[in-house]
């Protein structure tokens, strides 16, 4: 098969591993920078040109779309779908996953555990919002933030009110969530491919930090999920209609709580922590759907 990996950087670990895994299974792997694609829309003839050449005879696409280029990246994925080409992440699922508020609404409707969350439209009464999620400390997140950027832990009511007022002053939209103290600065990432958890790791924040993102110095180790945690991860991926998903969970006294469902989860941390060939699982998922 001829498989396109949509990625802006061919040297990224995830991109390299997918290319290696596909070639090892006998496929032609083509890395395409989606920001350099030209989309042509014509009656019954949607086409994509990359660096001046038409992309033809493509069997499948694996999107690795960064948050900063979601709009155009999604348009490219949608164009491939119009060309009747299988995409490992559907365009609409990608859009939903990048909208933090919409994601939480979908997960809530599916009956899944979530931290208490409030979304405010420049409220003049931040104190009431803080009370709605259980009082300080609270976590305040920019709707557009990724990899822990734009996430603030406000440990006191006065600090939370000050942060909310500052964000509102620059017209930034945020969500306010309860702080799960018993998680101890750790979370669990379950990597789901085609309805199966193919790997899971526990990420621990470095001392003095509450965000466990590996990009922020967090560490990761292999973990065996409980049945409840595994079922939660699978239901979350299914609710978001994602064939590939990184489901981030907090271990709380009331059971697993979902923080986020990532549509372009990185492979480096999960492969190193688990020792599993996650890239191969993704390629096999593509094979099953194309065949």
Instruction: Tell me the per-residue pLDDT of 71-117, one tens digit each, with 9 for 90 and over.
Output: 999 999 999 999 999 999 999 999 999 988 899 999 999 999 999 99
E-only strand ranges, 164-270: 174-178, 186-193, 196-204, 219-222, 244-252, 255-262
What domains, with CATH codes, occur in the chain?
2-96 (3.40.50.20), 100-112+182-290 (3.30.470.20), 117-179 (3.30.1490.20)
User: For position 23, what pLDDT does the model report?
Assistant: 98
User: For position 122, what pLDDT does the model report?
Assistant: 65
Length of the chain: 291
User: For position 227, what pLDDT does the model report?
Assistant: 97
**Mean pLDDT lowest among 69-83, 89-103, 130-144, 256-270:** 130-144
- In the chain the first and final C-alpha atoms are separated, in Å, by 10
| Mean of pLDDT values over 244-271 | 94
Instruction: Tell me the per-residue pLDDT of 191-228, one tens digit each, with 9 for 90 and over.
Output: 999 999 999 999 887 665 555 555 555 678 899 999 99
User: What band does 171 get if pLDDT is binned at 50, 70 and 90?
Assistant: confident
The model's pTM: 0.88
Residue 291 has pLDDT above 80, yes or no: no
- Nearest-angstrom CA–CA distance, 105 and 113: 12
Higher pLDDT, 133 or 145: 133
The torsion region of residue 150 among left (phi > 0), alpha (psi -120 to 50) and beta comes to left
Q: Are 286 and 5 in contact (CB under 8 A)?
A: no
Closest C-alpha to 17, from 2, 32, 29 = 29
SS3 for 86-127 is EECCCHHHHHHHHCHHHHHHHHHHCCCCCCCEEECCCCCCHH
- Nearest-angstrom CA–CA distance, 79 and 27: 22
Best mean pLDDT range from 94-108, 122-136, 149-163, 165-179? 94-108
């Amino acid at each position: 098969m001829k498989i396109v990996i949509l990625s802006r950087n061919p040297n990224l670990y995830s991109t390299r591993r997918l290319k290696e895994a596909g070639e090892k299974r006998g496929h032609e792997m083509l890395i395409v920078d989606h920001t350099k694609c030209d989309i042509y829309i014509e009656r019954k003839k949607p086409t994509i040109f990359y660096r001046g050449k038409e992309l033809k005879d493509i069997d499948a696409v694996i999107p690795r779309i960064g948050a900063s280029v979601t709009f155009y990246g999604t348009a490219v994925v949608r164009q491939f779908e119009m060309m009747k080409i299988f995409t490992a992440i559907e365009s609409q699922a990608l859009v939903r996953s990048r909208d933090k508020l919409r994601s939480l609404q979908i997960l809530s409707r599916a009956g899944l555990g979530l931290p208490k969350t409030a979304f405010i439209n420049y409220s003049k009464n931040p104190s009431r919002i803080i009370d709605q999620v259980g009082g300080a400390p609270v976590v305040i997140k920019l709707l557009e933030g990724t990899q822990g950027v734009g996430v603030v832990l406000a440990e006191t009511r006065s600090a939370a009110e000050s942060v909310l007022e500052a964000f509102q002053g620059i017209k930034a939209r945020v969500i306010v969530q309860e702080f799960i103290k018993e998680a101890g600065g750790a979370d669990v990432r379950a990597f789901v491919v085609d309805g199966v958890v193919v790997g899971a790791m526990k990420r621990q924040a470095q001392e003095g930090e509450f965000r466990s993102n590996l990009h922020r110095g967090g560490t990761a180790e292999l973990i065996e999920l409980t049945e409840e945690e595994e079922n939660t991860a699978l239901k979350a991926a299914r609710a978001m209609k994602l064939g590939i998903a990184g489901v981030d969970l907090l271990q709380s006294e009331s059971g697993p709580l979902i923080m986020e469902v990532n549509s372009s989860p990185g492979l480096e941390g999960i492969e190193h922590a688990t020792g599993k060939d996650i890239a191969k699982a993704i390629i096999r998922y593509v094979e099953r759907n194309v065949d």
